[in-house]
Amino acid sequence: MDNAIIVNIHSEQDIVAARQHGKRLSKKLKFSTINQIRITTAVSELARNIYLYAGKGKITFESLFKQQKSGIKIIASDQGPGIKEVRRVLEDGYSTSGGLGMGLPGVKRLMDEFIIDSHDGAGTTITAVKWVQ
């Protein structure tokens, strides 16, 4: 994690900062324009979820290099209340905020790899990876 960039999420301005870091890193890693948008959208959703549901947390960005492939790893983590029904929040159309965001199912579709680790009362960590095609 020596190449990690961490953006603390405490306010709506931090969501914007996280988006900017995601866009900048995805451009540096030579993702196509459409995949830069996908990554930025996923980062925005993850950061917004931290802000709305946990109040604070962080987004960590890492550059990945594996067998002549490059990619980006995004880790969204918080010490909030956790997610009681992980399976349910991964269903399309499910919203606890009444919003029209794409939610975690959308993030999962936008990225190549998606892992959610959440425990009721103990916070949430979501790891999402996108590889350069």
| Digit-coded pLDDT (tens) for 84-133 | 888 877 877 666 665 545 789 999 999 999 999 998 888 999 999 999 98
Question: Per residue in 11-66, pLDDT tens?
Answer: 999 999 999 999 999 999 999 999 999 999 999 999 999 999 999 999 999 999 98
Whether this prediction's pTM lies above 0.75 is answered by yes
* Mean predicted confidence (pLDDT) in 80-85: 88
Look up tokens 């979820």; give the residue.
Answer: 49
Question: Per residue in 43-55, pLDDT tens?
Answer: 999 999 999 999 9
The C-alpha atoms of residue 129 and residue 85 are separated, in whole angstroms, by: 23
The CA R_g of the chain, rounded to the nearest whole Å, is 14
Residue ranges of the alpha helices (H) in 1-133? 12-28, 33-49, 86-89, 103-110
Is residue 50 a contact partner of residue 43, using CB atoms and an 8 Å limit?
no
Full set of structural domains in the chain with CATH: 5-131 (3.30.565.10)
Helix, strand, or coil (residue 47): helix
Is residue 57 a contact partner of residue 9, using CB atoms and an 8 Å limit?
yes
